[in-house]
């Protein structure tokens, strides 16, 4: 199988994968205790799917008993720009690097299927491919296969490609020569912990997702805790701070996949370019993007929080228009944003004008807070 592995590495490289490693599905380090503690403390927030089929995450063999090898692949999406720069401009919108072009699930799934077909033609047997599509413990498997190690921010880090990595998996019912597992190289560094705006990395290797800006702006439904809103700054979709400061990124290579190169209009877009989007415009603008999956209302919620944090009165008229939005979530955040950017006297007048017309208790609560 050594020759097959050599051919596999070559084919994967042709398809654009930067790292290809393999391990036994039984080789992953035990994640049971730490993962169950994560769930018990409710650190997963509204991500209820994490508590489903836990045994699959703890033992990939349960997911597919026929699996004899797990092929772990990684592809770099290192940006051509400094993603921290936009944070200096509060009237701009900060969008996580991974979402500044095509949805990586779609791009990588296509590559994986191509590699899987090649593997079947080359060696026969059966395969299963995964890109965040099943309860597969990608990061522990990635470490077991030698792609990298789980850093203190809980993301995978590679000595060759830093933190900017998309992970994907192929389960194979044949044995392929395994790679050596990676060891931890974080040392005494705490840059990712220190930079986190909300203190979501509560200690090394432990994340409270309920405080994480990526979770709050993407996975969380409903209003965001008012104590966290000001800490979000102008981040309207995700957060890259802990990834961006990782010292291992100095070795990272730029992505060779054009679909991962950021669209110019999404690197430092004006908040004003988003605040008036209705549902149809939102869907058209973000067609083919991972941003589309959170829906227009949550997206505008995020934009309004960024607008409020800008403290810029130029947004007042746009925010006032959203006080009449069909979505109570949008109206709630419009009230909060207005309170941040308007003078107290003006805000009180807006409240007198609108509160009697409001029927939603959560929106009223924002007016009265």
Question: Smallest Cα–Cα separation from 228: which of 241, 203, 211?
Answer: 211
10 Å Cβ neighbour count for 138? 20
pLDDT of residue 304: 98
3-state secondary structure of 288: coil
Total residue count of the chain as it appears in this document:
369
pLDDT of residue 254: 85
pLDDT of residue 363: 97
- The whole-model pTM stands at 0.95
Alpha carbons within 13 angstroms on the beta-carbon side of residue 63 total 28
Position of tokens 């990834």?
A: 243
**Tokens at 228, concatenated:** 């966290």
3-state secondary structure of 185: coil
Catalytic positions: 132
**Tokens at 69, concatenated:** 């090898």
Residue 334 CA to residue 316 CA, distance in Å, equals 10
Question: Smallest Cα–Cα separation from 108: which of 82, 80, 81, 138?
Answer: 138
- DSSP letters of 55-117? HHHH-HHHH-TT--EEEEEEEE---SS-TTGGGG-TTB-EE-GGGSSS-HHHHHHHHHHHHHH
pLDDT of residue 34: 84
Burial of 287 (0-12, 13-18, 19+ CB in 10 A): exposed
Domain boundaries, the chain: 2-77+102-172, 273-369
pLDDT of residue 357: 92
pLDDT of residue 59: 87
pLDDT of residue 30: 63
pLDDT of residue 165: 96
pLDDT of residue 29: 63
For the chain, 369 residues long, the average pLDDT of each consecutive 10-residue run is 86 96 84 85 95 86 93 95 96 97 96 96 94 90 95 96 95 92 96 98 97 98 97 98 95 88 96 98 97 98 98 98 98 98 96 94 95
């Amino acid at each position: 199988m050594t020759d097959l592995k050599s051919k596999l590495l070559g084919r994967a490289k042709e398809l654009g994968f930067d790292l290809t490693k393999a391990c036994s599905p039984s080789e992953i380090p035990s994640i049971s205790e730490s993962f169950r503690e994560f769930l018990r403390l409710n650190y997963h927030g509204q991500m209820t799917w994490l508590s489903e089929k836990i045994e699959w995450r703890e033992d990939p063999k349960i997911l597919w008993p026929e699996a004899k090898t797990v092929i772990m692949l990684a592809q770099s999406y290192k940006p051509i720009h400094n993603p921290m720069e936009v944070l200096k401009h509060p009237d701009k919108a900060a969008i996580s690097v991974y979402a500044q072009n095509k949805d990586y699930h779609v791009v990588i799934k296509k590559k994986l299927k191509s590699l899987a077909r090649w593997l079947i033609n080359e060696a026969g047997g059966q395969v299963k491919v995964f890109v965040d599509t099943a309860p597969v413990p990608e990061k522990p498997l990635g470490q077991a296969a030698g792609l990298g190690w789980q850093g203190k921010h809980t993301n995978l880090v590679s000595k060759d490609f830093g933190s900017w990595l998309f992970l994907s998996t192929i389960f194979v019912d044949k044995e392929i020569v395994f790679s050596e597992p990676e060891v931890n190289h974080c040392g005494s560094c705490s840059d990712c912990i220190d930079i986190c705006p909300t203190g979501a990395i509560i200690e090394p290797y432990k994340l409270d997702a309920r405080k994480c800006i990526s979770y709050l702006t993407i996975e969380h439904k409903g209003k965001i805790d008012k104590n966290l809103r000001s800490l979000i700054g102008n981040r309207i979709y995700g957060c890259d701070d802990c990834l961006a400061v990782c010292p291992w990124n100095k070795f990272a290579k730029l992505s060779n996949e054009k679909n991962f190169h950021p669209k110019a209009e999404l690197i430092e877009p004006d908040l004003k370019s988003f605040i008036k989007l209705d549902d149809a415009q939102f869907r058209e603008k973000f067609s083919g993007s991972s941003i589309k999956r959170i829906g227009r209302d949550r997206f505008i919620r995020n934009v309004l929080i960024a607008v409020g944090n800008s403290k810029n009165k130029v947004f007042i008229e746009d925010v006032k228009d959203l006080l009449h939005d069909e979505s109570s979530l949008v109206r709630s955040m419009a009230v909060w944003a207005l309170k941040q950017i308007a003078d107290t006297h003006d805000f009180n007048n807006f409240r007198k004008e609108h509160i009697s017309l409001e029927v939603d208790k959560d929106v009223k609560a924002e007016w009265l807070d």
